[in-house]
Amino acid sequence: MRIQGQTSIITGGASGIGEAIVRRFVDEGSEVCIADINLEGANRLAAELGDAAWAIHVDVRDEASVKQVADAAMDRWGRVDVLVNNAGAELNKAYDEVTEDEWDLVIDTDLKGPWLFTKHVVPHMVAAGSGSAIYIASLNGLVGFPLASPYGGSKHGLVGYVKHVAIELAQSGVRFNCVCPGVIQTPMMERWTQLMPDQEEAQEMLRGMMPIGRMGRPEEIAGAVLFFATEDSSLCQGSILAVDGGWVAQ
């Protein structure tokens, strides 16, 4: 129960890595707001987890929607201890085939969304003099890949944003840190492999991309996020943690 009695907002918490974070945080004693555009999925997870979790619809690209979540959390709890910016959108397409609408969807979800939540939630943390804001970027925010320029561009931007806001608010009592997952077995990754003609070959390729010889599990990312939510990370400010099975060490 490492975050017993804390309150947490987790965006994109209805599935994948977000769901794993929600489950781990509840297990560790936090009350959790599951903020997701998929309200049905968020409600289903909240119902399974009981009184410690509640669901709310959010479109992270829309400022009014984000502010509604921040206001609802403050009305319910009077404070927010942890913010996890996890909601994301991916796109695998050649750089010159990406449409303006596709570019905007990815950039607005993956970069504008975390900025909006920082804008509307973090001031409450600053007023309290404590809190932890955690941003889920990607291996694509550290290295380049083909057919991933909008997604990789947004995640590189997020990594940079975390560093800047961490320094701007370094003495506020609020910590800002970033987790960069590697190849993780999630619905997002499954959608990517479906683009490949040979599914077995795609799975083998993904395993081979990780030096440890396997894909990661969402629960392993949740453990890294939990570290940044606890006082064990009290000296971490603007840290960028690659949870990638050794990829960037190559």
Residues with a known catalytic role: 151
Cα-based distances in Å from 226 to 82, 131, 243: 10, 13, 13
H or E, element range at 11: strand 7-11
* Tokens found for residue 92: 């695998």
- List % helix, strand, coil for the chain (3-state, nearest 5): 50, 15, 30
**Rg of the chain (C-alpha set):** 17
List the one residue out of 12, 16, 62 whose CA is nearest residue 32.
12
Question: What is the Cα 229 distance to its own chain's centre?
Answer: 13
Q: How many helices and strands, by DSSP H and E, does the chain display? A: 9, 7
Contact predicate 249/189, CB 8 Å: no
Measured distance CA(84)–CA(178) in Å, rounded: 10
Separation in Å, CA 179 to CA 4, 17, 49, 83, 97: 22, 11, 25, 13, 29
Tokens 């083998």 locate to: 204
Please report, as a single letter, which amino acid is at residue 247. W
Beta strand extents in 130-250 (DSSP E only): 131-136, 174-181, 240-243
